[in-house]
Amino acid sequence: MKALIFETFGGPEVLQYKDIAKPIIQENEVLVRTKAIGLNFADIYRRKGNYHLAGNPPFILGYEGSGIIEQIGEGIKNLKVGDRIAFADVPFANAELVAVPMEKAIPLPDMISFEIAASVLLQGLTAQYLTRDSYKVKAGDTILIHAAAGGVGQNLIQIGKLLGAKVIGLTSSLEKSEVAYSIGADHVFLYKDNWTNEVNEVTNGVGVDVVYESVGSTLADSFKVTRIGGTVVFFGMSGGDPALVDPRMLMDTSKTLTGGDLWNVLTSLEERKQRSKELFDWILEGKIILKEPTIFSLQDGAEAHRLLESRKSVGKMLLIP
């Protein structure tokens, strides 16, 4: 089979499109022919060597995708060859074939395309748990979303509005701010401006109830715009490592810093199916609108990595085998 692999850590140039042996499935796995594969910042971190990678070179990136089952392990009864499935946390997905454990195979409704599934699962499920588990958004809350035009950001905006919140977004350009406004953000400010002052102005100096912090290097400023007793949810560091947080500041302001990781939430097949169903229902009901993804062929994966790393992309990027 063809796969996008790399043998040393580095920039996009280390990625190679090569023939490798296809996976040999275990009794509790299905072999899936991928139709769409989600590209995420985690893939960049792993390519650079910043995140843990299983196994030995050649490494294969990718954790999210969708496709059709071609082979069934002996121990599986509830799936069959030809079924359409998606997955959000299965390694080695940047390939024509991937072995998917039974407990991670999410059935796809007929009305959900392979492209939609690969566009929404990882980022949509992330936004869902951030607004439900890390900090439970309530009607009347004011929330601040970093990287509001990105995949997770767009989902956070729309879920936040569904839950009755006032939404403030932060973006790096006017073009991206227009994207955030188009899906419901109440205010959008630019990183290059004095956004902390602007956020405090629109909150009458009180601050926001919760900040969804995915940049990292902006963590100290996120606390500046959080109300007394508010929360900062840290779930990414696309802009670099955060400054250390002084526990005395947390005590003096009664503010909370909490972390978030999707894999601590997706702990069973039932959990995956229930949360995915809610996402799919929102999409089918028109409550969440997905922007058209940027699509690359799998063999052009290096080019896709360059675009994602440049921060000039808007919304989801997909690789198509």
Which residues 6+ apart lie within 8 Å of 64 measured at CB?
37, 38, 40, 87, 88, 89, 90, 93, 118, 121, 122
Tell me: pLDDT of 240 over 90.
no
CA count, 13 A, side-chain hemisphere, 188: 21
Is the pLDDT at 52 greater than 80, yes or no?
no
DSSP H stretches of helix in 55-140: 114-129
Under 8 Å between Cβ of 181 and 199: no
Q: What is the pLDDT of residue 50?
A: 79
pLDDT recorded at residue 261 = 85
pLDDT of residue 292: 86
Q: What is the mean pLDDT of the chain?
A: 94
| Burial class of 228 by CB neighbour count within 10 A (0 to 12, 13 to 18, 19+) | exposed
Which tokens in the block code for residue 268? 């069973």
Alpha-carbon distance of 32 to 131, in angstroms, equals 31
Residue 40: both structure tokens together: 């995420």
pTM: 0.89
Q: pLDDT per residue over 53-80, tens digit each?
A: 777 889 999 999 999 999 999 989 889 9
pLDDT greater than 80 at residue 259: yes
Could you check whether 2-120+266-320 and 139-259 share the same CATH topology? no
Task: Give me the amino acid identity at 85.
Answer: I
For 2-120+266-320, CATH gives 3.90.180.10
Amino acid type, 130: L
Residue type, position 21, single letter: A
Q: Give percent above pLDDT 70 in the chain.
A: 100
* Per-domain boundaries in the chain: 2-120+266-320, 139-259
Residue 49: the pLDDT is: 87
What would the mean pLDDT of 3-26 be, rounded to a whole number? Answer: 95
Check whether domain 139-259 has CATH 3.30.450.20, yes or no:
no
Mean pLDDT, to the nearest integer, of 206-225? Answer: 96
Interatomic CA distance for residues 117 and 64, integer angstroms: 9
Residue 138 has pLDDT above 90, yes or no: yes
pLDDT higher than 90, residue 309: no
| Alpha-carbon distance values, 69 to 108, 114, 169 (Å) | 12, 13, 39
**Cβ atoms of 157 and 179 closer than 8 Å:** no
- Collapse the DSSP code of 32 into the 3-class scheme (helix H, G, I; strand E, B; otherwise coil) and give the result: strand
Residue 42: what pLDDT?
86
314 has a pLDDT exceeding 80 = no
**Cβ 182 vs Cβ 149: under 8 Å:** no
